[in-house]
């Protein structure tokens, strides 16, 4: 068994599309990023890479690489899933928390869970996505940033 933790934060500005967990979200602001800035998928990538002992998303997909500009972060998680598969691991369960002042994560929970389960190739039952606010505190509390935490447990495929 391997456990991994992931965290990410992105600044939010007007006139940028908002994507969370691979789902397009109707919002006045979106993340400033080299890729599509999907804070949740980035945290999940880091959690899985961490569990595998394979560094982090920045090492794997450097933001200095122009080929990753505007990339759908689902592609990052797909590549991370391939690595996990090659290493012989599968997700036992994944728990995530998104912190956003004004995006109602619970409204998108089902779609996000379905999307993540599709990419990771596991049942939706082992994926949990929670949303909460920052109680008005800091940049996230002002609605100028969005954060995500992810914890994943991986198990060896042959020992499941
Ligand atoms: Zn990110």
CA distance 11 to 81: 26
Categorize the per-residue pLDDT at 158 as very low, low, confident or very high, splitting at 50, 70 and 90.
confident
Q: In what helix (H) or strand (E) does residue 30 lie, and over which residues does it extend?
A: strand 29-31
The model's confidence at residue 159, banded by pLDDT at 50, 70 and 90, is low
Token pair belonging to 88: 């012989």
Number of domains in the chain: 1
Q: Which residues pair with 128 in a beta bridge?
A: 95
Cα(88) to ligand 1 centroid in Å equals 26
What pLDDT, in 10s, does the model give residues 51-91? 999 999 999 888 888 888 888 999 999 999 999 999 999 99
CA 157 – ligand 1 centroid, Å: 29
The token pair that represents 84 in the structure block: 């996990």
Distance of CA 89 from the midpoint of ligand 1 (Å): 24
Supply the pLDDT for residue 128: 98
CATH number for position 94: 3.30.1330.50
Name the residue range of residue 97's domain.
Answer: 2-159
Question: What is the CA(46)–ligand 1 centre distance, in A?
Answer: 10
CA of 26 to the centre of ligand 1 (A): 19
The H or E element that residue 4 is part of is strand 2-14
CA of 25 to the centre of ligand 1 (A): 17
**84-105 pLDDT tens trace:** 999 999 999 999 999 999 999 9
């Amino acid at each position: 068994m391997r456990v991994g933790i992931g965290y990410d934060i992105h600044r939010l500005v007007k006139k940028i599309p908002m994507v969370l967990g691979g789902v397009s979200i109707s919002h006045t602001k979106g993340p400033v990023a080299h890729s599509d800035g999907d804070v949740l998928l980035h945290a999940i990538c880091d959690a899985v890479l961490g569990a595998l002992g394979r560094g982090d998303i920045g090492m794997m997909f450097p933001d200095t690489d122009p080929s990753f500009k505007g990339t759908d972060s689902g592609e990052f998680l797909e590549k991370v899933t391939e690595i996990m598969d090659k290493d012989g691991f599968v997700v036992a369960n994944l728990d995530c928390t998104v912190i956003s002042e004004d995006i109602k994560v619970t409204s998108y929970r089902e779609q996000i869970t379905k999307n993540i389960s599709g990419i990771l190739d596991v049942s939706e039952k082992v994926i949990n996505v929670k949303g909460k606010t920052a109680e008005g505190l800091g940049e996230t509390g002002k609605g100028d940033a969005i954060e995500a935490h992810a914890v994943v447990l991986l198990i060896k495929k042959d020992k499941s």
